[in-house]
């Protein structure tokens, strides 16, 4: 029978999988990534201000999301990403006041590293940890390097870090009482996860976000999802997310496998081909509906905290 305090197993063991289906899969944890790096002009309902994020949290919690993933904006400048802890502190406090049971997940911020044009073509970014001071419940922990294609308004770029730096951030998160969610964008990042575990920089259960379809990452094919899930070490609790129309395909497979789901406008502006999503709630509603058909009820806020090993909500 399923043990809610230990919702992880060897995802590559088919016998154990069959037993889980028969005995009952764990309740599903739904994260909503509401904003990302999109701008107001990309979608009219995009929540960018602290007040809009808080309002979104109320509706999303009612729909079934238990974690809200935040990208802050500079106050009064909705198209400018914030990197300072005070902005995230204000957002986090407003969300907790509006939706006390919602877990707050802050992104890792970035800062550009200067490089002479003649020496490097493109931009170099370093991961930052400003939101640690804002005390979210959960914070993204990104491995590197990752390189991103450019666009009409910006050149291509690379996001850098090292094993040592990632370990330092993991330890800093632990000291602050924040649960790291380790983002894995391709199979090579499994090596970094194993390194962090071996160095005891992470406390079990290890909360892992498998990302599919990102630039220089693994593609969102079904075999790619299965390979990443089967390669996870024990004591992992995994979520999946994918970009664009692949999101619901990948997330449905995660629901079948006993994993958990991230959805939201950050990952896709489209609900179906040629159909813009109405708002973040529409994405959450779809996940809840599919999960229910597969026998996966939505986890309560208390169950999410128990599964992730998190303390009671902030007073």
Q: Which domains does the chain have, with CATH numbers?
A: 14-308 (3.20.20.70)
pLDDT given at position 265: 98
pLDDT given at position 2: 47
pLDDT given at position 121: 85
Contact between 183 and 141 under an 8 Å Cβ cutoff? The reply is yes
The contacts of residue 71 (CB under 8 Å, 6+ apart) are 35, 36, 37, 81, 107, 266
As beta bridge partners, residue 261 has: 30, 240
Q: Given its phi and psi angles, is residue 264 left (phi above 0), alpha (psi -120 to 50 degrees) or beta?
A: left
Radius of gyration of the chain (CA): 18
As beta bridge partners, residue 159 has: 125, 146
pTM, rounded to two decimals: 0.95
| DSSP collapsed to 3 states, the chain | CCCCCCCCCCCCCHHHHHHHHHHCCCCECEEEECCCCCCCCCCCCCCCCHHHHHHHHHHHHHHCCCEEEECCEECCEEEEECCCHHHHHHHHHHHHHHCCCCEEEECCCEEEECCCCCCCCCEEEEECCHHHHHCCCEEEECCCCEEECCCCCCCCEEEECCHHHHHHHHHHHHHCCCEEEEEECCCHHHHHHHHHHHCCCCCCCEEEEEEECCCCCCCCCHHHHHHHHHCCCCCEEEEEEECCCHHHHHHHHHHHHCCEEEECCCCCCEEECCEECCCHHHHHHHHHHHHHHCCCCECCHHHHHHHHCCCCCCC
pLDDT given at position 117: 65
Among 272, 279, 42, smallest CA distance to 151 is for: 42
Query: CA geometry: angle at 302 spanning 170 and 300, to 5°?
Result: 115
Q: How far apart are CA 229 and CA 18, in angstroms?
A: 16
pLDDT given at position 228: 97
pLDDT given at position 180: 97
Q: What are phi and psi of 254, to 5 degrees?
A: -60, -40
pLDDT under 50: residue ranges of the chain:
1-2, 315
Q: Cβ-count burial of 177 within 10 angstroms (0-12 exposed, 13-18 middle, 19+ buried)?
A: exposed
Query: How many residues make up the chain in this entry?
Result: 315
Tokens of 28: 């599903």
pLDDT given at position 114: 85
Q: What are phi and psi of 103, to 5 degrees?
A: -85, 135
As beta bridge partners, residue 69 has: 33, 105
């Amino acid at each position: 029978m399923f043990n809610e305090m230990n919702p992880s197993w060897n995802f590559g063991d088919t016998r154990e999988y069959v037993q889980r289906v028969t005995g009952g899969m764990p309740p599903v944890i739904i994260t909503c990534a509401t904003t990302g790096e999109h701008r107001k002009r990309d979608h009219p309902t995009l929540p960018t201000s602290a007040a809009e994020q808080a309002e979104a949290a109320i509706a999303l919690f009612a729909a079934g999301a238990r974690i809200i993933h935040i990208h802050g904006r500079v106050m009064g400048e909705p198209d400018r990403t914030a990197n300072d802890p005070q902005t995230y502190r204000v957002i986090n406090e407003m969300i907790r006041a509006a939706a006390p049971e919602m877990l707050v997940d802050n992104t890792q911020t970035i800062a550009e590293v200067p490089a002479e044009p003649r020496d490097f073509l493109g931009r170099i970014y370093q991961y930052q940890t400003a939101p640690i001071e804002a005390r979210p419940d959960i914070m993204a922990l990104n491995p590197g390097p990752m390189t991103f294609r450019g666009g009409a308004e910006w050149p291509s770029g690379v996001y850098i870090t090292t094993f040592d730096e990632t370990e330092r951030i993991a330890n800093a998160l632990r000291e602050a009482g924040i649960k790291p969610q380790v983002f894995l964008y391709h199979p090579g990042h499994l090596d970094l996860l194993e390194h962090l575990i071996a160095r005891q920089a992470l406390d079990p259960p290890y909360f892992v976000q498998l990302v599919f379809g990102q630039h220089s990452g693994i593609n969102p094919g079904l075999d790619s999802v299965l390979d990443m899930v089967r390669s996870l070490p024990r004591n992992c609790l995994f979520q999946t997310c994918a970009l664009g129309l692949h999101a619901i395909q990948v997330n449905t497979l995660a629901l079948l496998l006993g994993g958990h789901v991230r959805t939201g406008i950050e990952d896709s502006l489209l609900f179906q081909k040629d159909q813009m999503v109405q708002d973040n709630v529409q994405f959450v509603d779809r996940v809840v509906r599919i999960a229910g058909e597969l026998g996966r009820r939505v986890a309560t806020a208390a169950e999410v905290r128990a599964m992730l090993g998190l303390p009671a909500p902030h007073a």
